[in-house]
Amino acid sequence: MKKIAFLLLLITVFACKSDDDKVDDNPFLTSPLVNLNLNLNLPQYNPLKFPGSSLVITQQGIRGIVIYNENNTIYHAFELSDPNHVPNDCSRMEIEGIEASCPCENDTNKYNIVTGQNITDPSLYPMQRYRAERVGDNVRVTN
In terms of CATH architecture, what is 21-142? 3-layer Sandwich (2.102)
> For 25, which DSSP code?
T
Q: What is the pLDDT of residue 75?
A: 98
- The residue extents of the domains of the chain are 21-142
Q: Which residues of 22-33 are buried (b: 16+ CB within 10 A; e: fewer)?
A: ebeeeeebeeee
Is the pLDDT assigned to residue 15 strictly greater than 50? no
| pTM for this model (two decimals) | 0.82
Confidence of residue 22 (pLDDT cuts 50, 70, 90): low
